[in-house]
Amino acid sequence: MGLALTVAVGLSMFAGIGSAQAATKAAVVAEDPGPVGSFAWEGFNWQKRFWGGAPMYNGSWDANNVSNPDANGYVKLSITNPTGSAPVGAEFQSTREGFGYGTYSTTVEKDVSSLQKEVVWGCLFTYDPNAVPGYTEIDLCEASAWGGGSAYGQNWPVTQGHGYWFDATKPPGQGNNTINFDTTNAPILTHRMVWEPGKITFETFAGVNASGTLLKRTVLQGSTVPVPAKEQIHFNLWVTGGGGGDAAHVAPESVTIRDFSFVAGIPLTAPTPTISGTLTVGSTLTANTGTWTTGTTLTYQWYRSGVAITGATAKTYTLVAADQADTMMVRVTGSKAGCTTVAKYSASTAAVS
């Protein structure tokens, strides 16, 4: 992403949209959609940006440059330039604060290789300007030529990048970590990010969902990976004044966002347990858990004809007289930091003899 990106993105504090879920899309209900904003979209509430300021080089934004969802449930961001010399940007943000660890995904209609050299497409980034030590920001995928470099006799290509910023006062590798990669002329891109403790996995695909060609997979890990704070989700389309480009005279530009999804926590590999042992009083039954995600802590609860047995919380259980003529079942619960806790139930056995 380069120095220009490090500076400019660090100023990206706000963004905004919202929208009512289109009738043609299945209703999505988020556990915490956030306060009411400009509209509701994909189960969350969103605020269109109407206030001025960074990172747009002239500080000019307009809420009208963010559409409400159309009949397909798509949201469009546009850069306008009504006078020909004063462009206006578009941005929207979730009203919910604090998403944290989990899987983020969005599908976008835009050939990013065709971006004007002064335009910056901020495709889904989490941001908390008040986080200590500086701010925290994770960019699922950002694209720009950052002005083109004409002031230095250079021609910067449009690139896209995965990355994060943890401390704006520190250099790359210490306060931030980003990876750039080439653009393609794919008209639709899908971006996915899995954020877990000490690790972020980014993926960019050509096409809808993860069914197309994997263009780039980036895994960043270590002590500088941001931890959850009061981050909000942002999308923005703006103009940079850096790099020697002609920021004032950019032509209208637009990006269409098809969807957004967030699944809290990291899904665990969670097999359905089975029970082994002889179904006679005095015999010991064993819960066979299968292979869970590495590092998962497992706990157990045994059931007698569907009723939890007090104190029966080990991997094994010895059948007693009270179990005779009843069926047995076991629940295995897996938990791991940064992951969604999962409970799996075995099938019921035949009756104990």
Query: What pLDDT, on the 0 to 100 scale, is given for residue 18?
Result: 34
- Mean pLDDT, the chain, as a whole number? 89
Candidates 58, 54, 32, 34; CA nearest to 45 is: 34
Give the model's pLDDT for residue 19.
33
Residue 337's pLDDT is 76
Name, in order, each residue with C-beta under 8 angstroms of 203's C-beta and a sequence gap of 6 or more: 191, 192, 193, 210, 214, 216, 217, 218
pLDDT of residue 252 exceeding 60, the answer is: yes
What is the mean pLDDT of the segment spanning 77-97? 98
The residue among 7 and 235 whose pLDDT is bigger is: 235
Given this model, what pLDDT does residue 151 score? 66
Residue 209: per-residue pLDDT = 84
In this prediction, residue 7 has a pLDDT band, given cuts at 50, 70 and 90, of: very low
Note the pLDDT of residue 267: 76
According to the model, what pLDDT value does residue 266 have?
76
Residue 6: predicted pLDDT = 31
> For residue 3, what pLDDT is reported?
32
pLDDT single digits (tens) 269-321: 899 999 999 999 999 999 999 999 889 999 999 999 999 999 999 999 999 99
Question: Percent of the chain beyond pLDDT 70?
Answer: 90
pLDDT at 25: 41
The Cα–Cα gap between 277 and 282 comes to 11
Q: What is the mean pLDDT of residues 5-20?
A: 32
Per residue in 139-194, pLDDT tens? 999 999 999 987 666 789 999 999 999 887 888 788 899 999 999 999 999 999 99
> Is the pLDDT assigned to residue 2 strictly greater than 60?
no
Question: Residues 6 or more apart from 242 whose CB is under 8 A from it?
Answer: 4, 7, 8, 57, 146, 147
Give me the residues paired with residue 256 across strands: 76, 109
pLDDT at 11 over 70: no
CA distance 343 to 230: 29
Domains of the chain from N-terminus onward = 2-264 (2.60.120.200), 274-345 (2.60.40.2700)
Q: CB 245: neighbour CB atoms within 10 A?
A: 24
pLDDT digits (tens, 9 = 90+) for 192-223: 999 988 899 999 999 998 888 999 999 999 98
According to DSSP, the residues that pair with 343 across neighbouring strands are 333
Lowest mean pLDDT among 140-154, 229-243, 251-265: 140-154
Q: Which residue has the higher pLDDT, 269 or 232?
A: 232
Written as one string, the DSSP assignment of 219-267 is: EEESTTSPPP-S-EEEEEEEE---TT--GGGPPPEEEEEEEEEEEESBP
Query: Does residue 29 register a pLDDT over 50?
Result: no
Is there a contact between 333 and 343 (Cβ–Cβ < 8 Å)?
yes
Burial pattern 274-303, b for ≥16 Cβ within 10 A else e, equals ebebebeeeeebebebeebeeebeeebbbb
Q: What is the pLDDT, as a whole number, of residue 152?
A: 67
- Between residues 23 and 317, which one has the greater pLDDT? 317
